[in-house]
């Protein structure tokens, strides 16, 4: 075993232990605060936002993720969409936003992350079932009525960073129906030259499995996340036209970074 391999394994084990400890402490903070302090709905929304933001910033620090922000993050309540590259997108955005994420149902079963995600009212969707869409739309409307920020990844899957997929209009229905301004953000990543490229080490796509990918990401010395928020939100009463305009705005600002043309997104 090489020296570099040994240092990488030590780095991963140390960061995993730190992530577990930080997550446990923040989870306890959420339980105690929800039980004793947050009696009103508005107080619970603020507490939930603070818990998610603290957890995300702790994880970002342990990943050694440097986040560069362009534009101004929206203030609650808001509806925001972004391109989707990895589960790490959630961490990066949550360091900046008080929000509720709409995430695929698989995440609910992930160790540690799934428990905390469920506790802070993440909205999970079964993307293989069209019958699940009305339930999710109802939950989005409930969270919006509570004053929460909503973050949605309308590509419906994560990609390798070669481009932006078409946006599905289904979950944009609440925003279109109410003619809500929809904010948008573009996410991309970069790793150091002596590390595996971002489309392999950070992006999570194709047949990649969670645990090996997480270990690989934690083994990086560091990496950069770039988040650009759009200047003006988009308002549109037709959900399909809203999806088209949002996708065009995100794609215009996205700079592809996948280096192999034959690598396809899942």
Domain count, the chain: 1
Rounded to whole angstroms, the Cα distance separating 252 from 249 reads 5
**Residues 8-65: pLDDT tens digits?**
888 888 888 888 888 788 878 777 777 776 667 777 777 877 888 888 899 999 999 9
Q: Is the confidence at residue 168, as pLDDT, over 80?
A: yes
Residue 79 domain flag: yes
Residue 198 domain flag: yes
Span 109-134, mean pLDDT? 77
pLDDT of residue 114: 72
pLDDT of residue 161: 95
Rounded to whole angstroms, the Cα distance separating 150 from 128 reads 21
Q: Chain-wide mean pLDDT for the chain?
A: 87
pLDDT of residue 107: 77
Please give the residue range of the domain that contains residue 10.
3-253
Between vectors from CA 213 to CA 208 and to CA 214, what angle results, nearest 5°? 145
Residue 262 domain flag: no
Residue 259 domain flag: no
Residue 157 domain flag: yes
The residue that leads in pLDDT, 201 or 26, is: 201
pLDDT of residue 264: 43
- Region of residue 112 (phi > 0: left; psi between -120 and 50: alpha; otherwise: beta): left
The pTM (predicted TM-score) of the whole model is 0.87
The residue with tokens 């047949």 is: 207
DSSP string, 39-69: -SHHHHHHHHHHHHHHHHHHHHHHHTEEEEE
Residue 266 domain flag: no
**Residues 69-113: pLDDT tens digits?**
999 999 988 999 999 999 999 999 999 998 889 988 887 777 666
Local structure of 82: helix, strand or coil = strand
- Provide the b/e sequence for 58-72 (b: ≥16 CB within 10 Å): bbbebbebeeeeeee
The residue that leads in pLDDT, 119 or 80, is: 80
Nearest to 240 by CA among 181, 178, 173, 185: 173
Rounded to whole angstroms, the Cα distance separating 75 from 229 reads 12
Structure tokens at 164: 């932006």
């Amino acid at each position: 075993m090489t020296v570099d391999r040994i240092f990488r394994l030590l780095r991963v084990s140390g960061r995993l232990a730190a992530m577990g400890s930080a997550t446990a402490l923040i989870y306890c903070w959420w339980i105690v605060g929800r039980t004793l302090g947050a009696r009103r709905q508005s107080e619970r929304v603020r507490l939930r936002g603070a818990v998610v933001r603290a957890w995300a910033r702790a994880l970002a620090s342990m990943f050694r993720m440097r986040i560069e922000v362009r534009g101004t993050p929206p203030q609650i309540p808001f509806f925001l969409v972004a391109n989707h590259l990895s589960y790490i997108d959630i961490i990066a955005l949550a360091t900046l936003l008080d929000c509720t994420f709409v995430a695929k149902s698989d995440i609910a079963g992930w160790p540690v992350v799934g428990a905390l995600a469920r506790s802070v009212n993440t909205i999970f969707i079964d993307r293989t079932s069209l019958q699940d869409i009305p339930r999710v739309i109802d939950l989005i409307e409930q969270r919006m009525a509570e004053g929460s920020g909503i973050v949605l990844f309308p590509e419906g899957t994560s990609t390798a960073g070669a481009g932006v997929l078409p946006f599905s209009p289904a979950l944009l229905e609440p925003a279109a129906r109410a003619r809500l301004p929809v904010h948008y953000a573009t996410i991309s990543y970069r790793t150091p030259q002596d590390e595996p490229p971002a489309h392999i080490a950070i992006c999570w796509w194709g047949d990649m499995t969670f645990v090996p990918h997480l270990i690989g990401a934690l083994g990086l010395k560091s990496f950069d996340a770039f988040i650009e928020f759009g200047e003006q939100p988009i308002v549109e009463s037709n959900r399909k036209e809203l999806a088209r305009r949002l996708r065009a705005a995100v794609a215009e600002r996205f700079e592809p970074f996948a280096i192999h043309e034959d690598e396809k997104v899942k």
